Amino acid sequence: MTNYIIWVGIDDSADQLDVAAFYGSEEEPRHEFQVSNDGAGMRRLCKKLGSMPGEVRCVYEAGVNGYHLYRELSKRGFVCDVVAPALTPRRPGERVKTNKRDARKLARLDRAGELTSITVPEEEREAVRDLVRAREDAVQDLLRVRHRLGSFLLRRGLRYRTGKPWSNGHLAWLKGLSFSDGNLQKVLDEHRLALEEATERLKRCDQAVEEAAQQEPYRQLVEYLMGLRGVKVITAMTAIAESVDLKRYLSAPAYMSAIGVVPSEFSTGDKQRRGHITKTGNAHLRRVLVESAWHYRWAPGLSKVMKKRRAGLPAEILTIVRKADHRLHKKYVRMVSKGKSNKVAAVAVARELAGFIWAIGQAA
Residues 313, 353, single domain; the answer is yes
Tell me whether residue 350 is in a domain: yes
One domain, residues 183 and 135: yes
Same domain, 174 and 288: no
Alpha carbon 86 to chain centroid distance?
Answer: 14
> Does residue 167 sit within a domain?
yes
Q: Whole domain around residue 20: which residue ranges?
A: 5-112
Q: Which of 54, 80, 112 is the last residue of a domain?
A: 112
318 and 247: one domain?
A: yes
Same domain, 232 and 355: yes
In this structure, what CATH number is given to the domain that contains residue 25? 3.30.420.10
Last residue of a domain, one of 54, 81, 112: 112
Report the SS3 class of residue 36.
strand
Are residues 164 and 207 in contact, defined by beta-carbon separation less than 8 angstroms? no
Mark whether 151 and 204 lie in a shared domain: yes
Looking at the structure of the chain, the number of domains it has is 3
pLDDT, residue 193, reads: 98
Q: Is 102 in the same domain as 198?
A: no
**Residue 14 included in any domain:** yes
pLDDT of residue 301: 86
Position 335 in a domain: yes
Residue 79 lies in a domain: yes
Q: Based on the fold, state whether residues 225 and 209 are members of the same structural domain.
A: no
In a domain, 23, yes or no: yes
Taking a C-beta distance cutoff of 8 angstroms, is the pair 13, 37 a contact? Answer: yes
Q: Is residue 117 part of a domain?
A: no
Alpha-carbon distance 278 to 281, whole Å? 9
User: Of 112, 141, 167, which marks where a domain is finished?
Assistant: 112
* Residues 44 and 76 reside in one and the same domain: yes
Rounded mean pLDDT for each run of 10 residues along the chain, 364 residues in total: 83 95 95 95 95 94 92 95 90 88 96 93 95 97 98 96 94 96 97 98 98 95 96 96 92 93 82 84 94 95 92 96 97 96 96 97 93
pLDDT tens across 183-229, in order? 999 999 999 999 999 999 999 999 999 999 999 999 999 999 999 99
Q: Is residue 163 in a domain?
A: yes
The reply to whether 163 and 143 lie within a common domain is yes
Same domain, 190 and 225: no
Query: How far, CA to CA in Å, does 72 sit from each of 28, 46, 58, 79, 239?
Result: 27, 9, 12, 11, 28
Residues 223 and 209 in one domain: no
Sign of CA dihedral 106, 112, 116, 121: positive
Note the helical H segments in 162-303.
168-175, 182-213, 219-225, 233-243, 252-259, 283-293
Q: What is the pLDDT of residue 1?
A: 42
- Contacts within 8 Å (CB) and 24+ apart, 238-242: 238/132, 238/136, 238/284, 238/285, 238/288, 239/285, 239/288, 239/289, 239/357, 240/128, 241/125, 241/128, 241/129, 241/131, 241/132, 242/129, 242/132, 242/282, 242/284, 242/285
